[in-house]
Amino acid sequence: MKKWLLTVLFGTAIVLAACGGGDEGGTDEQQDSGDNATEESSEGGSVDSAAAEEVFESNCASCHGADLSGGAGPDLTQVGSKYSADEIADIIKNGKGSMPAGLVSGDDVDLLSSWLAEKK
């Protein structure tokens, strides 16, 4: 029963995230890149928030919540004030506590850790 409820909630979150309130047409991407250009990652480049959110939704949201508020995993809404992007990447790669290692790999680790490091 709990798995079914989590599946329904996760599916609803994905549908709502995909529907978003983008009534500005094609300017959302331009605004995002402009906003993100001021928030630089540890490598000095801007973070692709849309791609990072997609990685988060498909790999992390089931434990950390679609809005980063936590659940089975801890709240990540202000994780950037506690850990740097490199420390977050290390946690993603190697796991911590009950979080298993290797849920995200490759370039997605850097993308996700930079995005989460901006959460302050």
Report the alpha-carbon distance of residue 116 to residue 19 in Å, rounded. 22
For residue range 54-100, what is the model confidence (pLDDT) as tens digits?
999 999 999 999 999 999 999 999 999 999 999 999 999 999 999 99
CATH superfamily of 49-120: Cytochrome c-like domain (1.10.760.10)
Residue 99 β-bridge partners: 96
Q: What is the structure's pLDDT at 103?
A: 92
- Tokens encoding 105: 């790999």
Q: Give the residue carrying structure tokens 């994905």.
A: 14
Q: What is the structure's pLDDT at 17?
A: 65
What does the pLDDT average to over 97-119?
93
10 half-sphere exposure, CB direction, 13 A CA radius: 17
Domain definitions of the chain by residue range? 49-120
Q: Which residues of 52-81 are buried (b: 16+ CB within 10 A; e: fewer)?
A: bbbbbbebbbbbbbbebeeeebbebbebbe
Q: What is the structure's pLDDT at 32?
A: 42
Q: How many CB atoms lie within 10 A of CB 43?
A: 10
Q: Predicted confidence band at 119 (pLDDT cuts at 50, 70, 90)?
A: very high
Q: What is the structure's pLDDT at 19?
A: 65
For residue range 5-42, what is the model confidence (pLDDT) as tens digits?
777 777 777 766 666 555 554 444 444 444 443 344 44
What's this model's pTM, rounded to 2 decimal places? 0.62
